[in-house]
Each structure stands twice: as C-alpha cells, then as structure tokens.
Amino acid sequence: MTSSVLDLAPVVPVVVLEDAADAVPLARALVAGGLPAIEVTLRTAAALDAIRAIAAEVPDAVVGAGTMISARNVADTVAAGARFLVSPGWTDALLDAMKGSGLPFLPGVSTTSEVVALLERGVTGMKFFPAEAAGGTAYLKALSAPLPQARFCPTGGISAASAPSYLALPNVGCVGGSWMVPGDAVAARDWARVERLAAGAAALRG
C-alpha cells in the first residue's frame, strides 16, 4: 500500500452509513467505478461494523476511517481493519495516536498556522477542511508558494463541478467528497447509480 492517502485515487468518497449491511455492496460499487480508497466516517453507530465488513469482504477496497477526534477512535478503527485515518482537525494527543497507529493518516487543517505546526512535526500530507468554507481553491493556491512541501486532500462542500479546479492545483493530491454516494441512492440501495457516479469521479483529473 502507498505510504500516502493522497496518492490512492483522485477522489476519496466520504461515506456515512446508517446500516452496516450496506457497507459491502456500496464498497464494491465504488471499487468497480474506480475509487478504491473509501473513507467511512465515525458519525454513526454502524461505522465500525461497516469498516470491519469492508476490510473482510472487499479486498480491492482500501477502507479508511474519518472523523478521528480521539485516541480511542484511532484504536477502535485500527482494530476494525481500517487502512488509513482522517481527522477534521488535530491536537498533539490525536496526532500522536494517529502516528502511533502505523497507518497513513491525514490530519485536518484550515489555517496556515496549523499547516506550519504539522510541517514542524514532520507531517506533509493533510486534509483541508472545511474546504469551501475555509477559502477553497484561492486559499490553497495562496499556500502553495510559501509552503510548497504541504500537500492536501480538500474536503467539505466539494462537488463534481468544483473538484477539477482543486485537482488542478499543484499542492492537491486528491479531494474528498460525497457526491458519488448520495443519500437517496444509498437508501434505495441503487448500487448501479453509485458505480456510475464513482466512474465519473474517478475520471476527474486536474
């Protein structure tokens, strides 16, 4: 596996699952569409079971866990089989836990000071969140000159229409989004639609 989440695919689906039974067919649809890296967020009671199921039953998927906000989250998701970790922000304790997991991880940032603090700690791959609300492509473009060593996965408010402008930036490795896993498609278990949307997302390049 690559040492960086940023190099797995141009788009990382951000998945919220209410029912762990949907995890495997959803993951198979995303992989079939060309999106192997899947971030399952810890926003629901089903999340850990969903990660466990994907890790066990969809070998072509690289399942990760999002919404890391504590060392306990890190331990639980590693035990469930997660292969990368993503947080909306970071503290020293959370960063230490993610580093200690041995897995690739993307700590969240939204300010220049947070980026510099992570670079100081030897971390160059980051999640930029909430991307649209925090300044979007203009903000990331402004960071690229003084901080070229920092690379980002912008997430938050990104759509199929706006993703290409992010992917065109030199300091963006991938984007995170949920437009390829719309709630109505998941609720209807319309996995063919998810696969079509995933294929469109996988084709996006800067």
Give the active site residues: 39, 127
Length of the chain measured in residues: 206
As beta bridge partners, residue 128 has 109, 154
H or E element that contains 192? helix 191-202
- Separation between Cα atoms, residue 180 and residue 200, nearest integer Å: 8
- Separation between Cα atoms, residue 194 and residue 172, nearest integer Å: 24
Query: String of b and e for 118-145 (b: at least 16 CB within 10 Å)?
Result: beeeebebbbbbbbbebbbbebbbebee
CA 177 to chain centre: 8
- Separation between Cα atoms, residue 98 and residue 117, nearest integer Å: 16
Query: String of b and e for 156-191 (b: at least 16 CB within 10 Å)?
Result: bebeeebbebbbebebbbbbbbbbbbeeebbeeeeb
Over its C-alpha atoms, the chain yields an Rg (Å, rounded) of 16
